[in-house]
């Protein structure tokens, strides 16, 4: 993951550096022409379902759960309406907070210059970091994991150069928590594999 991040950063830096060789105005032009940002916030909705934890036939209802999400996508147009970039965000689940850092693409329909409602689609894939979570003891292990976020939505022109965005998508977060209690010699180990599959509804801006 780190390697990918480093690579990504170096690409961005070298692009920037290359631009600085030219005239200031052409750099500005490049940003104006190629730079794309999507910043949005939204909610993750989960479905209620039944589990039979103890295998006794007496099920337990897992309640539907809503979580909050915030993310920003920064990228550059590489071909027509295809944008390549990276997403950083925070997903506030009730017990754990995930910081997903992903690589992603955005594709929008129609001519960007036309002031009318357009559609867009995006796909992010990356790693969810667990930096925001405390450990209850040094023996605990908190491991992040894959995050995946395909989305589709509308771009609604604001009047200026920006768009409001409304999108619906899917978000998958994986992480693993190991809690250790008990004595040193006889630990009580509770290891939980989280697989959170949520429907995401987001509002935001794009420019």
Partner 1 sequence: MKKFLFSTLLMAALATALSSCKDNCVQTVTYRGTESFKISLAELRSSLKTFPAQELENPGKIYVKDNYLFINEVKKGIHVIDNTNPSSPKAISFIQILGNIDIAVKDNILYADSYTDFVALDISNPKDVKEVSRTESVFLNGQLDGLGWTYNAPDQTIYDSRYKIYITTQEISCDPQPQYYYGWGYYDVASYGGIKSGIAQSTTGTGGTGTGVSGSTARFAIIDERLYAVTQNDMKLFNLKNPSKPSYDGFLNLGFGIETIFPYKDKIFLGTTTGVQIWDNKNPQKPTFLSRLDHARACDPVVVENDIAYVTLRSMNNFSRCGPAFSNQLDVIDVSNLASPKLLKSYQMENPYGLGIDNSKLFICEGTKGLKTFDASKSMDIKQLQHFKDMNAYDVIPLNNTLMVIGKDGLYQYDYSNLNSLKLLSKIAVKAIM
Where along the sequence are the contacts to partner 1 (CB under 8 A)? 45-47, 49, 51-55, 60, 62-63, 65, 93-95, 119, 152, 168-170, 181-199
Of residues 86 and 177, the one with the C-beta less far from partner 1? 177
Question: Could you tell me if 139 and 124 are in contact, meaning their C-beta atoms sit under 8 angstroms apart?
Answer: no
* Min dist. Cβ of residue 184 to partner 1 (A): 6
Of residues 54 and 58, the one with the C-beta less far from partner 1? 54
- What region does 182 belong to: left with phi over 0, alpha with psi -120 to 50, or beta? left
Of residues 86 and 151, the one with the C-beta less far from partner 1? 151
First to last CA, the chain: 28
Of residues 67 and 83, the one with the C-beta less far from partner 1? 67
CA count, 13 A, side-chain hemisphere, 64: 7
CA separation, residue 55 to residues 17, 51, 64, 88, 192 (Å)? 61, 9, 22, 40, 18
Query: If you search the block for the tokens 């071909």, which residue do you land on?
Result: 79
Angle at which helix 24-34 crosses helix 2-21, to 10 degrees, equals 130
* Min dist. Cβ of residue 199 to partner 1 (A): 4
* Min dist. Cβ of residue 43 to partner 1 (A): 12
Residue 43 DSSP symbol: E
* Min dist. Cβ of residue 186 to partner 1 (A): 5
Of residues 76 and 194, the one with the C-beta less far from partner 1? 194
* Min dist. Cβ of residue 153 to partner 1 (A): 9
Question: Could you tell me if 168 and 151 are in contact, meaning their C-beta atoms sit under 8 angstroms apart?
Answer: yes
Structure tokens at 147: 């995050």
* Min dist. Cβ of residue 98 to partner 1 (A): 13
Of residues 86 and 167, the one with the C-beta less far from partner 1? 167
> What whole-number distance in Å separates Cα of residue 49 and Cα of residue 54?
16
β-bridge partners, 106: 83, 122
């Amino acid at each position: 993951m780190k390697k990918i991040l480093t690579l990504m950063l170096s690409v961005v830096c070298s692009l920037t550096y290359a631009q600085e060789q030219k005239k200031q105005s052409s750099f500005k032009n490049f940003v104006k022409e190629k730079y794309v940002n999507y910043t949005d916030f939204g909610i993750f909705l989960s479905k209620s379902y039944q589990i039979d934890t103890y295998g006794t036939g007496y099920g337990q209802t897992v309640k539907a759960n809503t979580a909050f999400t915030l993310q920003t996508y920064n990228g550059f147009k590489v071909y027509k309406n295809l944008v390549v970039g990276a997403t950083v965000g925070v997903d506030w689940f009730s017990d754990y907070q995930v910081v997903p850092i992903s690589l992603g693409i955005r594709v929008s329909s129609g001519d960007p210059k036309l002031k009318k409602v357009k559609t867009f689609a995006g796909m992010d894939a990356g790693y969810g970091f667990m930096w925001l979570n405390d450990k209850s003891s040094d023996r605990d292990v908190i491991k992040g994991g894959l995050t995946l976020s395909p989305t589709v939505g509308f771009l609604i022109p604001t009047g200026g150069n920006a768009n409001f965005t409304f999108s619906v998508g899917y978000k998958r977060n994986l992480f693993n928590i190991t809690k250790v209690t008990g004595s040193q010699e006889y630990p009580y180990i509770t290891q939980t594999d989280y697989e959170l599959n949520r429907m995401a509804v987001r509002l935001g801006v794009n420019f």
